[in-house]
């Protein structure tokens, strides 16, 4: 395996991929807030022609912050097919992860000096989770509808009940 080299490139030299399937405009402010608070810790990945493989949202955030240069990894060792596959896999794999709500609540509860809503945790304040709106499944009179959707009170994720019971 080759060592990954990070270099800095002018933001205007990076070319957004014309067929980028991700709709990322809603994430730009949160990514910009993260870069502003913590620095640019995750490089943008480009191919040998400076076309972005992943990092479109980070580039938009860099423009929003007025940055002139950003950290970049040039993945010139990938075939065109691998570039397409990596672009999709990198975005999809983040969707497969789930939050451990108990641990998330602990972590958020221990952050006193940052407003986490800047990073997309709009409905989260830390402290104990509040499941007041979640039906009590142990209630003998409860009749479950055919499709039960629940919303996580910490992160706002909406999913089928089975998703939350997996933990």
Residue 49 forms part of a structural domain: yes
Does 146 lie in the same domain as 89? no
Measured distance CA(96)–CA(102) in Å, rounded: 18
CATH of the domain at 50: 3.90.1530.10
pLDDT digits (tens, 9 = 90+) for 75-113: 999 999 999 999 999 888 878 888 888 888 888 888 877
Does 88 lie in the same domain as 12? yes
Residue 11 forms part of a structural domain: yes
**pLDDT band at 36; cut points 50, 70, 90:** very high
Nearest to 70 by CA among 42, 90, 48: 42
Average pLDDT over residues 105-131: 68
Does 109 lie in the same domain as 73? no
Percent of the chain at pLDDT exceeding 70: 71
Query: What total number of domains does the chain contain?
Result: 2
- Provide the sign of the torsion angle of the four alpha carbons 75, 78, 76, 17, taken in this order: negative
Show the domain range for 136. Answer: 101-165
Supply the pTM of this predicted model: 0.70
């Amino acid at each position: 395996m080759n060592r990954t080299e990070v270099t800095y490139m002018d933001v205007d030299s990076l070319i957004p991929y014309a067929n980028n399937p991700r709709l990322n405009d809603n994430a730009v402010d949160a990514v910009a807030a993260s870069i502003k608070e913590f620095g640019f810790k995750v490089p943008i990945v480009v191919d040998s022609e400076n076309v972005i493989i992943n990092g479109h949202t980070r580039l938009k955030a860099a423009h929003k912050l007025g940055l002139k240069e950003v950290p970049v990894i040039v993945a010139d060792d990938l075939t065109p097919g691998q570039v397409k596959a990596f672009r999709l896999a990198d975005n999809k794999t983040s969707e497969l992860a789930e939050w451990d709500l108990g641990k998330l609540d602990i972590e958020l509860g221990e952050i006193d000096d940052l407003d986490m809503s800047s990073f997309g945790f709009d409905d989260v304040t830390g402290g104990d989770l509040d499941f007041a709106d979640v039906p009590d499944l142990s209630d003998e009179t409860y009749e479950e509808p055919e499709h039960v959707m629940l919303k996580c009170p910490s992160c706002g994720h909406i999913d089928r009940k089975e998703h939350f019971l997996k933990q």
